[in-house]
Amino acid sequence: MKVFEKAPAKINLLLDVLRKREDGYHEVEMIMTMVDLSDRIEMQELLRDTIIISSQAGYIPLDEKNLAFQAARLIKDRYDVKQGVYIHLDKKIPVAAGLAGGSSDAAATLRGLNRLWKLNIPAEEMQVLGAELGSDVPFCVTGGTAIARGRGEKLEPIEAPPQCWVVLAKPPINVSTSEIYGKLRANQIANHPSASDVLEAIRLKRFDLLCERLGNVLEEVTLDLYPEVRQLKECMVRLGADGVLMSGSGPTVFGLVSREAKVARIYNGLRGFCKDVYAVRLLT
């Protein structure tokens, strides 16, 4: 038996950090949605009690450090599954990019193994399992568009933003999420973006307002550390994207574009600047 799952990339339309908690985690408020840029995950049953990971991507760990491996081990332990699984990751999402590639792979592994092993785990229970693997995993289990609070595990689904093009560009640097959160001074954030303003723009289906109201407090840390991310943002604005923001802790910058006629110009302009550029649709 074999199953396949798509693991789409996420972008943050809003990322705010409210405070650093006593347990060391940050209290966040995030509005997240998915884009049509996905890894493809194949899971094949093995009779031997083992987990094997392979991938065409040479730059991700294939052992227990891989989040798909961790998801498989978690579900096996928790539901006492004796069979093993061979997992192949066809990576399309750039790694360490702020697009939750690893988290989405982990979530897709939970969904796929739930089917492969006929475990009938409800989605909410998979989200609770996912929270043990990483803050973005619970959202990736169900996808769609949602507001996340707490560490990212308290999720409330919301309606999808107006459909548009999303141009993504990742400069050739890897950014560590923990480094960026470590350098953030949560009590000194000058401008907090407003989640209720973004929610209102979505509810009113006002693409122009949504573009104006995008915000990510991690930008000030990443843009200072990596000037190429700032340049990339400026470049995307100059090329005419309607709304431009860094996703997650970066370094990927995305531009929302309503008119298809503009997309090719922005895509081609960015290709002169970096190799990893994608023009995709929102996954609504």
CB 174 within 8 A of CB 96: yes
**How many residues appear in the chain?**
284
Cβ of residue 116: shortest distance to ligand ATP, in angstroms?
18
| Cβ-proximal residue to ligand ATP, closest one | 102
State the catalytic residue, choosing from 16, 39, 105, 136.
136
Q: Any contact of residue 282 with ligand ATP (CB under 6 A)?
A: no
Size of site (CB under 6 A) for ligand ATP: 21
Which among 116, 151, 124, 126 has a CA at the least distance from the CA of 30? Answer: 151
276 among known catalytic residues: no
Task: Choose the stretch contacting ligand ATP; rule: CB under 6 A; options: 42-50, 94-102, 189-197, 212-220.
Answer: 94-102
280 strand-pairing partners: 166
| Interaction pattern, residues 151-190, with ligand ATP; x per rule: CB under 6 A | --------------------------x-------------
Task: Choose the stretch contacting ligand ATP; rule: CB under 6 A; options: 97-105, 121-129, 144-152, 226-234.
Answer: 97-105
205 among known catalytic residues: no
| Residue spans of alpha helices (H) in the chain | 67-78, 101-116, 123-131, 137-142, 177-183, 195-203, 207-213, 219-225, 227-238, 260-271
Contacting residue, 4, 21, 49, 61, with ligand ATP by CB under 6 A:
61
Q: Any contact of residue 248 with ligand ATP (CB under 6 A)?
A: yes
DSSP state of 186: G
Alpha-carbon span 94 to 100, nearest angstrom: 9
Q: Which residues are catalytic?
A: 10, 136
